[in-house]
Amino acid sequence: MSNDAAQGKRIPYIRLRNIKKSFGHVIALDGIDLDVYPGEVMALVGDNGAGKSTLIKIISGVLNPDEGELSLNGKTFKHLTPSRAIELGISTVYQDLALVDCLDVASNIFLGREPLKACFFVDKKRMNRESEELLRRLKVSIPSVTTPVEFLSGGQRQGVAVARSINLQGRMIIFDEPTAAMGVSESARVLELIRSLGDEGFAVLVISHNLHHVFTIADRICVIRNGRLVKDFRTENTNPDQVVGFITGSNRYSGEYTEESITAWR
């Protein structure tokens, strides 16, 4: 989706306004305004400590912001909790903390919302069947849904984590460093999966250090620096050198992020 006119009319899935967060004396986020749209892969880039992780933790309800608000579906929230975020369709695919190693693939996909039969027993058959369908739809290849997750490769684990997010009725999916510590072909598969989620109409937010990957999948690239959103690019209007310039701060930046500057960049 790169039709700018269409983009302008669309309603953002989540709208963040003036989000601020400090840890003691350290200001992690200093007034972030950000919109994430359905059907769009948005990449959030920035140096270590720029505030990317803090921001996605706020969106997924793990952290509470000191100031600012989040609006979703016309409702405005001061902060979210993990379960509230899930109810609102936001799910986060964490690189390491996502899965319970000792449980099998199907149990992980259904973790937290296992179907029951006779009001007590977990409906294992249904879990297995639906997990298989879901994984097939996402084109994630896994030997068996009854394999404990600890025996899977990084890419397969990522696939299971994505399947779980979608199974949680996620409409917005956040990826934290999805390709870190992954091989080349494995990364390619994960990137393909992320891209296809965007095409299927999910709102996708990706954090990555790998600009090559970011340019492969993202429709929009936002640069965070020192807790501020310093630049919001359409991918086709920029190049990696320019983005690096904004990440490191060697490029001049406007400082303020306003509605006008967004439209200017579109």
Partner 1 sequence: MFPKIKLLLGNIFPQLLLILVMLVMVIFLSVASPFFLTWDNFRNVFDHSSLYIIMALGMTFVISSGGVDLSVGAVAALSGVCMAVAMQSGLGVGTSILIGLAAGGLVGATNGSIISLFKINPFIVTLGFMSLARGLALIITGGIPIYGFPRAFTWWGSGHIGPLNPPMLLAAFMAVLAALVLNMSRFGYYTVALGGNEEALRRSGVSIHLYKIMVYLLCGVTAALGGLIVTARLNTAEPLAGWMLEMDSIAAVVLGGTSMKGGRGSIAGTLIACLLLGILRNGLVILSIPAYYQQLLIGMIILTAVIFAEVRSRKGLAGTHKKERSTAV
Q: Catalog residues that contact partner 1 under the rule CB under 8 A.
A: 60, 62, 82-83, 86-87, 92, 94-103, 107, 111-114, 116, 120-122, 124, 143-144, 146-148, 150-155, 157, 164, 168, 181-183, 186
- Closest separation in Å from C-beta 214 to partner 1: 20
**C-alpha to C-alpha distance for 164 and 189, rounded to whole angstroms:** 17
Residue closer to partner 1, measured from CB, 151 or 265: 151
- Closest separation in Å from C-beta 117 to partner 1: 10
Residue closer to partner 1, measured from CB, 153 or 237: 153
Using alpha carbons, select from 60, 50, 66 the residue that is nearest to residue 80.
60
Give the angle 16-166-150 at the CA atoms, nearest 5°: 115
- Closest separation in Å from C-beta 143 to partner 1: 4
CA distances for 16 relative to 36, 65, 67, 85, angstroms: 9, 11, 11, 14
Residue closer to partner 1, measured from CB, 156 or 235: 156
**C-alpha to C-alpha distance for 266 and 260, rounded to whole angstroms:** 10
Residue closer to partner 1, measured from CB, 78 or 113: 113
- Closest separation in Å from C-beta 209 to partner 1: 16
- Closest separation in Å from C-beta 232 to partner 1: 28
Strand partners, 70: 16, 77
DSSP H or E segment with residue 137: helix 124-137
- Closest separation in Å from C-beta 110 to partner 1: 9
Residue closer to partner 1, measured from CB, 39 or 155: 155
Read off the amino acid at residue 28. A
DSSP H or E segment with residue 45: strand 40-46
Tokens of 76: 């405005």
- Closest separation in Å from C-beta 90 to partner 1: 11
- Yes or no: say if 98 and 164 are a contact pair by the CB < 8 Å rule: yes
**C-alpha to C-alpha distance for 21 and 60, rounded to whole angstroms:** 15
- Yes or no: say if 202 and 210 are a contact pair by the CB < 8 Å rule: no
Residue closer to partner 1, measured from CB, 182 or 203: 182
Residue closer to partner 1, measured from CB, 39 or 61: 61
